[in-house]
Amino acid sequence: MKNLAYATFIIIFVHINILVSPYLIHAEQGFDSVIQLPHSGFSRTRPRSKRVLSVGDYGAKGDGLHNDTEAFLEVWKIACSLSGFINVLFPHGKTFLVHPIDIGGPCQSKITLRISGIIVAPEDPVVWHGLNQRKWLYFHGVNHLTLDGGGGINGMGQEWWARSCKINSTNPCHPAPTALTFHKCKNLRVRNLMLLNSQQMHMAFTGCIRVVASHLKVLAPASSPNTDGIHISATKSVEIRDSLIRTGDDCISIVRNSSRILIRNITCGPGHGISIGSLGKSKKWEKVQNVVVNGAYLFNTNNGVRIKTWQGGSGFASKITFQNILMENVSNPIIIDQYYCDSRHPCKNQSSAVKVENISFIDIQGTSATEEAIKLDCSDTSPCERLYLENIFLVPCYGGYATSYCWQAYGSARGFVYPPNCLSSSNGFIRQNEWLESNPAIHSV
């Protein structure tokens, strides 16, 4: 028996070499051939006359001690009232202490916040007394906004984490700020920035349209509570790429009514992986569709690629493709969980569920920290349909066999699938990601 396991182990490693190398080549090609870069819409932003404003000229000290909030508001007010392209500088080598701040549009101008220095939050949660505990830097209703500059945004979250009920269960549960929130913004770009130690989530897009987030480093300790990297909620047309996310919660989470989301070349871990949901909490109707994750490397994460829904909800999670993914030491590498429940009491099974259908997992390889590398746990009342597996090879980190679990999961498989495919067969074979190549919406992000 031992010998047999050992033999399997060797074979498995031979397979990794065969399978992983073409994956890498495939991934490289995939980046250019499948997706067109969205630079066309933005490269026209070459200014005819670009005005430059610096926060320093509006009273900011940038010494990390002085309250620079007023200066930020003042420079924003001016930039917003001008027309054309405006650059607002936060110079390199300076640290700007900014209190919770509300930055609103609409603006006449197209503003770039060039953050080359560092924006820091007040350390002490007491500053938020009487204010909305969920916000720190809150942008809303702005069109054509860009944040870049190579600098950092530091949420100084340590004090918030210590007070979290997830860290110490004697603490009461209360919300903590999302470092950067963009609400109802259109044509937004966030790039070339470091987001550090957020109080709770690092960056959230809520109700936005057309967003590109790229070349970001999002960093917080694995033990920090609820520090999701990038959260997408009720947002359409989003591209997230070329970024590194290492935090204490989901690298990327997609919820509510969001669609046309493209994620590529993401490195993720530690954290909780890439997650669609949770959807359908408190009997909500929600629809997440047209999501492509193409090119991700996940390591030491609690989940790999995940769809989670609550019992009792309704709506859809559909047309979702996870492709070209390399995993290392990932617990639950592939998981659909339609019985999601994180309340203190067990959740009752209900007669409705968010429908999960047209989901593809293609070219996913690597090692699992758990034996059960594939878990497709679908609803009794609303089974998963048209699931598709192709070229999957996931082995336990520490050797031995990997297993798969299916419950009410219908679909088909092609190519080599290990752990073995457990889907109940459904009629008709369709390679589910075909809609991607023919979907013009994704290309016009």
Ligand X SMILES: *[C@@H]1O[C@H](CO)[C@@H](O)[C@H](O)[C@H]1NC(C)=O
**Nearest residue (CB) to ligand X, 85 versus 412:** 412
- Residue 15 is among the residues annotated as catalytic for this protein: no
Beta carbon of residue 193, minimum distance to ligand X (angstroms, whole number): 13
Q: How far is Cα 410 from Cα 425, in angstroms, rounded to an integer?
A: 6
Q: How far is Cα 107 from Cα 202, in angstroms, rounded to an integer?
A: 25
**Nearest residue (CB) to ligand X, 112 versus 265:** 265
**Nearest residue (CB) to ligand X, 132 versus 349:** 349
- Residues lying near ligand X in the complex (CB under 6 A) are found at 31, 67, 69-70, 99, 168, 170, 234, 242-244, 256-257, 265, 267, 284-286, 300, 316, 318-319, 329, 339, 346, 348-349, 357-358, 369, 380, 386
**Nearest residue (CB) to ligand X, 144 versus 404:** 404
Q: Output the CA torsion sign for 312, 313, 316, 321.
A: negative
Q: How far is Cα 27 from Cα 185, in angstroms, rounded to an integer?
A: 31
Chain centroid to CA 105: 25
Eight-state DSSP code of residue 375: E
SS3 call for 156: coil
Q: How far is Cα 347 from Cα 41, in angstroms, rounded to an integer?
A: 47
Beta carbon of residue 373, minimum distance to ligand X (angstroms, whole number): 14
**Nearest residue (CB) to ligand X, 133 versus 300:** 300
How long is the chain? 445
Beta carbon of residue 244, minimum distance to ligand X (angstroms, whole number): 5
Q: Which residues contact 175 (CB under 8 A, 6 or more apart)?
A: 133, 134, 200
Q: How far is Cα 177 from Cα 21, in angstroms, rounded to an integer?
A: 42
Beta carbon of residue 399, minimum distance to ligand X (angstroms, whole number): 12
Beta carbon of residue 50, minimum distance to ligand X (angstroms, whole number): 27
Catalytic residue among 183, 202, 231, 272: 272
Which of 362, 424, 418 lies closest to 389, judged by CA?
362
What are the catalytic residues? 272
